[in-house]
Structure 1
Amino acid sequence: MKAFTVSKAVTALMLAGLVLLPLYSQASGNVFILTLFTRIVILALAAASLNLIMGFGGMMSFGHAAYLGIGGYAVGMLAQEGVGSGFIQFPVALAASAIYALVIGALSLRTRGVYFIMITLAFAQMAYYVASGLARYGGDDGLTVYKRSDFSGLINLGNRVQFYYLCLACLLGVLFLIWRIVNSRFGLVVQGLRSNEQRMQAIGFPAKRYQLVCFVISGMMCGLAGALLANNTDFISPAVMYWTRSGDLMVMVILGGMGTLFGPVMGAVVFLLLEEFLSQITEYWALIMGPLLLLIVLFGRGGIMGMLGRAGRG
């Protein structure tokens, strides 16, 4: 109970900080911190979506960033063609991500281990090269989003505070949905397949069907993060889909704690704050970041949430 209380208290403090951050930003006049944490919240959403299949489902996808790019390009391409309504852009982003996840999942779930990882990576790289070849939409140079999504006056995405709270609401909504999924019969079956797929199939559960549905839901969630990311940066480029971005998302999940609800959020906050802090000190920040993350992974079994649990027991 003590360990549970420690991790729960830290999580509550983190969430309270995220909710109150715009008030601090306005009081201090520090606009940068709000911009930074808007990016953190969006990538935390993407990491949480990856955790659904990797942490709870045992599916090590190395191409998850493809859905970030697809969601972002859906917004950018529709804006380029004169469709600025968020009520159209966001559903299209979710649908496009879901369709791509369905294709990837239907093929990759036929394999296991390193083959599964390589197929998801191959599909992400394919999306990257397709986006790079879209000359009409910027190609390698990327696509500028000149006008943010319009929600008919309900919310102004041009307002930093309103946009931040929209991103935070989406993150909390996705976390709630993941919690409901994980604790449902469907989620228990998915977790059972992670532990022992042969036994679950032997008692009559169609493994591939459950895993594919979970894979598609995860892709849709990440597509939502992509749509928010395009609005946040007013720009989308093929680099968003590159394999290194998928690696960053995996690091966030592992750093925070795989298979925990708030672990990916904690991992995203720590990872991106470390990246920002170290990059201000030296241009060789990656040489410091790499060993730090390696030490945490090697000696902090279960990530940050695992360390909090052990600290509480101590």
Structure 2
Amino acid sequence: MRPDPRLVALALYLVASALFLTLGARGDWGFILAFRGEKLVALTVVAGAVAISTVTFQTITGNRILTPAIMGFDALYILIQSLLVLLLGGVGLTALQGPPLFALETAVMIGAAALLFGLVLRRSEDLNRMVLTGIVLGILLRSLSSLVARVIDPSEYIYVMVNSYARFNNIESDLLWITTIVTLAISALLLARARRLDVLALGRDPAMTLGLDHRREARRLLILVTLLVAVSTALVGPVVFFGLLVSAVTHQVAGTWRHTTLLPLSALVAATVLIAAQTVFERILSLQGTVFVVIESLGGLVFILLLFRRARA
């Protein structure tokens, strides 16, 4: 009998977490575990949010080569950082760090997504049109960010560059626990709607035949996905291709299309990959910073491979 992939992923997650907490530890264990434990929670929460939002978004759109980042959330986040540096300067942006900046970034991203979903899906149920609109808006936002970057003082543009990549150093505890609570609550809601996601995965017409209001359900789920992406991005920065990498691995090992398995499995796979990679990056290679740059590159390669596979099919 094949073991439950969720239990296997959970075991691997616990092993990766134990190694992250203890490998190379010297000195006061109370301080070490508290410091590394907070970072472990951040890695787990962000990985889970990215994975669950990606799997849900792919189910809604019926396309496994898409991620929520295609809607331009990363471009909007960078534009917010650029405008704040332009208006307040690097020192002003640093002073704004904490709950005020977190609330501002989250509110802007949620508001922009709600406006997009409301305008596009109100007149049509064509999710492909929504995705194309998001791609165009992402290009526009990146162009605006480039324009603002030309106006910013070069010495202060470093603040924008630092915030352009996901980071796990100096995460504020208050923001981490807010993000954790929101992520757990939304993940629970999505898991409770797993059967509806199973029906949505069949396509628009079969879902409506089975009595599901496709447009209403898609809009509700998109709002939940947006909340996950917004809080995780506001906490650590933009994540683009990591969800695609995790989704591809999850579908390969799941052995089922049921979301009661896919959603928790994707979160465990994402957390295990990110924690293991961060452990190797920090504890074995003794490199400072974050491993997200390397993982995002691997996710980009997966995206290209998936495109080639679809082209051959």
C-alpha distance after superposition, 1:82-121 (max 9, x if no partner): 46263322222222111222233342773255x5554433
Q: Which amino acid aligns with 1:100?
A: A
| Structure 1 position 11 matched with structure 2 position 10 | yes
Q: CA deviation at 1:215?
A: 1.1
| Structure 1 position 21 matched with structure 2 position 27 | no
C-alpha distance after superposition, 1:54-96 (max 9, x if no partner): 2477466455163245346556755863462633222222221
Q: For residues 28 and 104 of structure 1, do their structure 2 counterparts lie closer, same or farther at Cα, with a shift above 3 Å needed?
A: farther
Alignment of 1:127-138 (within 5 A): 127-135=141-149, 138=152
Counterpart contact for 1:22–1:34, Cα < 8 Å:
yes
Q: Distance in 1 between matches of 2:83 and 2:300?
A: 39
Q: Distance in 2 between matches of 1:174 and 1:204?
A: 29
Q: For residues 198 and 163 of structure 1, do their structure 2 counterparts lie closer, same or farther at Cα, with a shift above 3 Å needed?
A: same
| Structure 1 position 64 matched with structure 2 position 56 | no
Q: Distance in 1 between matches of 2:18 and 2:218?
A: 34
Alignment of 1:257-276 (within 5 A): 257=251, 259-267=262-270, 269-270=272-273
Q: Distance in 2 between matches of 1:128 and 1:276?
A: 33
Counterpart contact for 2:117–2:130, Cα < 8 Å:
no
Matched residue, 1:48? 52
Q: Distance in 2 between matches of 1:22 and 1:166?
A: 21
What TM-score results when the alignment is normalised by the length of structure 2?
Answer: 0.59
Q: Which amino acid aligns with 1:181?
A: L
Q: Which amino acid aligns with 1:224?
A: V
Matched residue, 1:179? 188
Q: Which amino acid aligns with 1:217?
A: L
Counterpart of 2:102 (choices 83, 87, 90) is: 90
Q: For residues 38 and 145 of structure 1, do their structure 2 counterparts lie closer, same or farther at Cα, with a shift above 3 Å needed?
A: farther
Counterpart contact for 2:77–2:109, Cα < 8 Å:
yes
Gaps of at least 5 residues in structure 1 are: 149-156, 231-239, 298-314
| Structure 1 position 214 matched with structure 2 position 221 | yes
Q: Distance in 2 between matches of 1:205 and 1:266?
A: 30
Number of aligned residue pairs: give it: 262
Counterpart of 1:224 (choices 209, 231, 240) is: 231
Gaps of at least 5 residues in structure 2 are: 252-258, 286-293, 307-313
Alignment of 1:1-314 (within 5 A): 3-4=3-4, 7-15=6-14, 17-18=16-17, 21-24=20-23, 26-27=25-26, 41=44, 44=47, 45-55=49-59, 58=62, 61-62=66-67, 64=69, 66-71=72-77, 74=80, 81=88, 82=92, 84=96, 86-106=98-118, 107=120, 110-112=125-127, 117-135=131-149, 138=152, 144=159, 160=170, 163=172, 167=176, 170=179, 174-175=183-184, 177-184=186-193, 187-202=194-209, 205-230=212-237, 240=238, 246-257=240-251, 259-267=262-270, 269-270=272-273
Q: Percent of counterpart pairs with the same letter?
A: 12
Q: Distance in 1 between matches of 2:17 and 2:280?
A: 18
Q: Distance in 2 between matches of 1:70 and 1:42?
A: 22
Q: CA deviation at 1:147?
A: 12
Q: For residues 197 and 64 of structure 1, do their structure 2 counterparts lie closer, same or farther at Cα, with a shift above 3 Å needed?
A: same
Counterpart contact for 1:47–1:253, Cα < 8 Å:
yes
Matched residue, 1:308? none
Q: Distance in 2 between matches of 1:291 and 1:93?
A: 25
